[in-house]
Chains A and B, each alone.
Chain A
């Protein structure tokens, strides 16, 4: 894929986000924002038998942060929390397929940070054991 195709894909995810809209009863929810530009992302997760079976996001912000959230939600269903906890900046860059400077990297990182925050909440759901 060329850089241009990749940019079009980002714009497409931005204009037509996948898996956008929160769940009524998620197993874990986390929200954070990027104070630099006011991007906001919330992630909802459902985990069954150690597998993410549903993932949704909501948010507002620039095309990078929102497209990255859409792309990330699309690919994580079927993964284990441990796999997702291991994702890093390089993964987000590979997902977006474009180069980003340190400033916009914060926009790309936000959905991953929020996802990993939701995973942490999963482990610390007020000491409550999760439904198997």
Chain B
């Protein structure tokens, strides 16, 4: 059988995503806000629907049939996710509400036990607020120092500064894998080597990488990896914290409650084994099942293909947008970025751009993208961001360009 062409394959794929068929007014939707959240395929919607229709029960509790089924579905999802990121064991895959909770879990559980005055946590100027604010809160309580790796004008980490920023005082390097504003793909393996050489642990924010490229936690040798389900065709309200086993085992719990204990007495309690020590309370079972289906969907496409497809789209978007007069793209060239392009267009406010584009059915993100320090770094209040996923088309990027040129005419001073 002849391998279908990319166009045919993308047409087939788009048919899996009901929301992509929407009209906005009289225009077909061109969904280019995948960095905020992706659309969901029928396979994910159906898996969650089937769970609620036939298998709904609490997990790890009842001995009845439904509870056994729910537990099996929940744990199968964990196994699939472990395989997806090549975790050595599914016990190292902890379900969270998303990337933000994953970072907070590490901050509160690991940070409280390991950080104090004289210690340093190193993050970067290109972090999302979720990888800045928890460390600021914790710094104010524990008295460690928070330091930032600067970003160059080209939108890359200034690694020349690393030798004096990453020292024996550094206990943790917490870094975004792919910038949600610049699209920059950071050299994680190199950073991990440098951090481990001074005895620092490494947390990687994979919210914008895990959905878009193969990510292998063993190859990268990271200590923690966090990501969200909803940006990778899964549901909202579910995410993952992967951690190195001995570190997770040495950490105290984050939240206390049901399901995370081995025994409880009036005097004291003992903690459950991994991963349950970090999963207090009834988890988001349907969402975990949905994320399992999402991982199956992506695995079937193949993450190498997903990545290659997105590189094709983002390269085209970069070229087309570079053509628009007065448009300034933030961050590095297409060969050093992942699937998004953020930009400013003359003096037009990002919200006004977004509103004009919405009129043409083109959905993009406008604002500071939860990265105010990075926007301050580049001296701009906000930017517009077009972010692609494997189901987008070159035609949608042409429509983006045409609509931007229209906005330019409307707002010409």
Contacts and interface: CB of A to CB of B under 8 A. Distances in A.
Interface of A: 11, 15, 36-38, 60-64, 104, 107
Nearest to A103: B351
Name, among A11, A15, A37, A104, the residue most crowded by chain B CB atoms within 10 Å (CB to CB): A37
A62 B413 contact: no
B351 A11 contact: no
Nearest to B366: A37
A18 B98 CA distance: 46
A60 B368 CA distance: 15
Interface of B: 349-352, 355, 366-368, 381-382, 410-411, 413
B351 A64 contact: yes
A130 to B, nearest CB: 35
A11 B349 CA distance: 12
A11 B411 contact: yes
A23 B155 CA distance: 41
Given A37-B366, A38-B368, A63 B413 contact: no
Given A11-B410, A15-B413, A38-B381, A62 B352 contact: yes
B410 A37 contact: no
Given A37-B351, A37-B382, A62-B352, 4 more contacts: A36-B367, A37-B367, A37-B368, A62-B350
B410 A38 contact: no
A104 B354 CA distance: 11
Contacts of B367: 36-38
A35 to B, nearest CB: 9
A41 to B, nearest CB: 13
Nearest to B367: A37
A76 to B, nearest CB: 24
A61 B276 CA distance: 47
Nearest to A63: B352
30 contacts: A11-B410, A11-B411, A15-B413, A36-B367, A37-B349, A37-B351, A37-B366, A37-B367, A37-B368, A37-B382, A38-B367, A38-B368, A38-B381, A38-B382, A60-B381, A61-B349, A61-B351, A62-B350, A62-B351, A62-B352, A63-B349, A63-B351, A63-B352, A63-B411, A64-B351, A64-B352, A64-B355, A104-B351, A104-B355, A107-B351
A37 B369 CA distance: 9
Nearest to A16: B413
A64 B411 CA distance: 13
Nearest to A11: B410
Given A36-B367, A38-B381, A104-B355, A62 B349 contact: yes
A42 to B, nearest CB: 16
Contacts of A37: 349-351, 366-368, 381-382
A63 B352 CA distance: 6
| List of 7 A-B pairs having minimum Cβ-Cβ separation, nearest first | A62-B351, A62-B349, A38-B381, A63-B352, A37-B351, A62-B352, A37-B367
A60 B355 CA distance: 17
Contacts of B413: 15
A62 B366 CA distance: 11
Contacts of A64: 351-352, 355
A107 B355 CA distance: 12
A33 to B, nearest CB: 10
Contacts of B410: 11
Contacts of B366: 37
A107 B351 CA distance: 10
Contacts of A107: 351
A37 B367 CA distance: 5
A61 B348 CA distance: 9
A62 B350 CA distance: 7
Contacts of B349: 37, 61-63
A108 B297 CA distance: 42
Contacts of A63: 349, 351-352, 411
Contacts of A11: 410-411
Nearest to A66: B349
B274 to A, nearest CB: 38
B133 to A, nearest CB: 13
Contacts of A15: 413
A61 B382 CA distance: 10
Nearest to B413: A15
A37 B370 CA distance: 10
B413 to A, nearest CB: 6
B35 to A, nearest CB: 17
Nearest to A10: B352
Contacts of B368: 37-38
